[in-house]
Amino acid sequence: MPAFLYEFLTSDGFYYFLFVWVLICIASAAKRNILLEKLKNLTSKPVIFDEDKSEPVDFYPRTAFERIAKAIVDFLEKPFISIIDGLGKWINGLKSLVTDSEKKWLPFGYSLFFLLLVFFIFADAIAIANTLVFYGLLDVADLWEPLTRYEFATAGGSLFAILVAGLITSEIYSTKSQFTEWDKIEGTWKDIAKAFTRILIISGFVVVFFLGMQRLISLGYFTNFGSTVRSGVDFVVTILIPLNTVLATALILIEGYKGLALVIILFLAIVLATVHILDYLSPLIRYVLPFTIDVVYRLILMAAFIIGFFIITPIDLVISTVTAPFRPK
């Protein structure tokens, strides 16, 4: 803001100038009457849904607003029926994949395996990232900080791997599994899964054993076997932990994906509930929204008329006074 303008706006003279300016506006009867007539016509207009036979008002597109109101009312009459129907069919289709009337714990099992799948995929990513760092193909400084937490990969390749293998073994050998559909699966994949569970249990305990021995040696026990244990630990960290996490991921992959279907169902259920609420409110919205748009526009237009009156009236007076001697009589 220019300095002279700032000084003027903050001076005492500005208030006298403003008083005179407003006084001129109020004293201008012709301009004032035109403003009041515009405000009267604008406020006396019927609501947007009723026919308007009164005089038009400048800058108030009544016909356009009536068309917009009709379009909104027509659109919101039954706007969400097809969406509700589509979401319902989608949810029912997904529910058939993850529910069984004879297995009430099936959704819980799929949810558990989904969480475990996410954990093992994360553990696999940690193992891969650290392997790349070990071989110099990636700088540890470039790693996302959670991928440096190798303890998660270790937990996945030991304790969690054993737990998964034990749970899957129980489901495979049960005559009626409760958390999975393994009792309905036959063939090569089931035989492979049985072999994976045995390998996973054994290798998981091997990981736990060598990590425990390494801990004892670090505390001062079995110092004579330090080099042998360290070699075993290197093998465990380099080979067994990544192998265990991969095997565990493969064992629960299908169940984990079905758990993802449950997450999608939950999300769709939230969307469906929201759409139901909107559908319930649509009879209200279809009339309130056009009315609100019309009223807000009228208020804005009235404010514009008033502001324009106070700005332009003194300027018109000055111009008419200056040009009066030059106008033909």
Q: Tell me if 297 is assigned to some domain.
A: no
pLDDT value, residue 327: 58
pLDDT value, residue 302: 92
185: left (phi over 0), alpha (psi -120 to 50) or beta: beta
* Residue 321 binned pLDDT confidence (cut-offs 50, 70, 90): low
Pick the range with the lowest mean pLDDT from 28-32, 87-91, 108-112, 180-184: 28-32
**pLDDT for 102 beyond 90:** no
Mean pLDDT of the chain: 84
Q: Tell me if 44 is assigned to some domain.
A: no
**pLDDT for 48 beyond 80:** yes
Q: Tell me if 300 is assigned to some domain.
A: no
**pLDDT for 329 beyond 60:** no
Q: How far is CA 106 from CA 1, 100, 185, 262, 292, in A?
A: 71, 7, 15, 11, 50
Q: Tell me if 14 is assigned to some domain.
A: no
Q: Tell me if 280 is assigned to some domain.
A: no
Summarize pLDDT for 104-118 with one digit per residue, the tens.
Answer: 888 999 999 999 999
Judged by DSSP in three states, 11 sits in: coil
Across 16-35, average pLDDT: 80
Across 306-315, average pLDDT: 85
**Mind giving me the DSSP string for 229-272?**
HHHHHHHIIIIIHHHHHHHHHHHTHHHHHHHHHHHHHHHHHHHH
**pLDDT for 2 beyond 80:** no
Residue that the structure tokens 């009457």 belong to? 33
How many domains, in total, are found in the chain? 1
pLDDT value, residue 9: 66
Parent domain of 174: 102-274
Across 30-35, average pLDDT: 84
* Residue 299 binned pLDDT confidence (cut-offs 50, 70, 90): very high
Summarize pLDDT for 84-93 with one digit per residue, the tens.
Answer: 888 889 999 8
Across 156-162, average pLDDT: 87
pLDDT value, residue 8: 62
pLDDT value, residue 260: 92
Residue that the structure tokens 């072999």 belong to? 195
Summarize pLDDT for 229-273 with one digit per residue, the tens.
Answer: 778 877 887 888 888 898 999 999 999 999 999 999 999 999 999
The residues with which 100 forms a beta bridge, in sequence order, are 103
pLDDT value, residue 264: 93
Across 34-55, average pLDDT: 85
CB contact at 8 A, 246 and 124: yes
Q: Tell me if 94 is assigned to some domain.
A: no
**pLDDT for 1 beyond 60:** no
Q: Tell me if 284 is assigned to some domain.
A: no
Most confident of 55-69, 140-154, 295-309: 295-309
**pLDDT for 157 beyond 60:** yes
pLDDT value, residue 61: 87
Pick the range with the lowest mean pLDDT from 33-42, 243-252, 314-323: 314-323
**pLDDT for 5 beyond 70:** no
To which H or E segment does residue 98 belong?
A: helix 81-98
CA distance 15 to 38: 29
Q: Tell me if 63 is assigned to some domain.
A: no
pLDDT value, residue 309: 85
pLDDT value, residue 198: 92
